[in-house]
Chain A
């Protein structure tokens, strides 16, 4: 079982870029067989998948956010990251990182989540 932990600023100003990092332990982000994902939950709402990246560094994104989202791997630090540009109040949410398995498409391990508030 993997352990994942999100880190990053809790407040981001509107129009700026939200950047979060997920540190993985118990496994390697460069090993095959996993994808690494970001998922968020707006206050009082359901979960929203943002995207995932394979160990090959190929990334796939939610079409509704594709133009603003980038997910990347840092194999030297065993981390993966989220960048969300041009944020607005609508991007205020709890952001989770999670790992899963391509082909079966489920999320096995999750971080605890981190609240990001977009301020004006």
Chain B
């Protein structure tokens, strides 16, 4: 079971859009529509922002969207705001009742 691969950091200016990729394999992302994404501000608990590849929980801004192609899932944040500066983690079901996370991506809003 290997961790999913995310870029260590991304950045963007307020109002812009950014995309964070999350690459797995045929054992996880490629086999299940069960990718979730979490936002974590320093010192805070992670917060669920997407599940089921593309679904937003109630209360999460429409600026957050998800997509997937083959073994790579993506999180797009549109209309960047200062409050979006945080770490973002992807997660996928990996079969046999196991789950795997990505290494995390630090988003800097310039």
A interface residues (Cβ-Cβ under 8 A, vs B): 39, 45-49, 52, 60, 62-64, 96, 98, 104-108, 110-113
Q: Does more than half of chain B's interface fall in helix, strand or loop, or is it mixed?
A: loop
Decide yes or no whether B38 CB sits under 8 A from chain A: yes
1/0 per residue, CB under 8 A from A, across B50-74: the answer is: 0110000100000000000000000
List A contacts of B47 (CB < 8 A): 110
Q: Does more than half of chain A's interface fall in helix, strand or loop, or is it mixed?
A: strand
Most buried by A among B6, B44, B99, B100: B99
B interface residues (Cβ-Cβ under 8 A, vs A): 1, 3, 6, 32, 34, 36, 38, 44-48, 51-52, 57, 89, 91, 93, 96-104
Interface contact A96-B34, CB-CB below 8 Å: no
Interface contact A107-B98, CB-CB below 8 Å: no
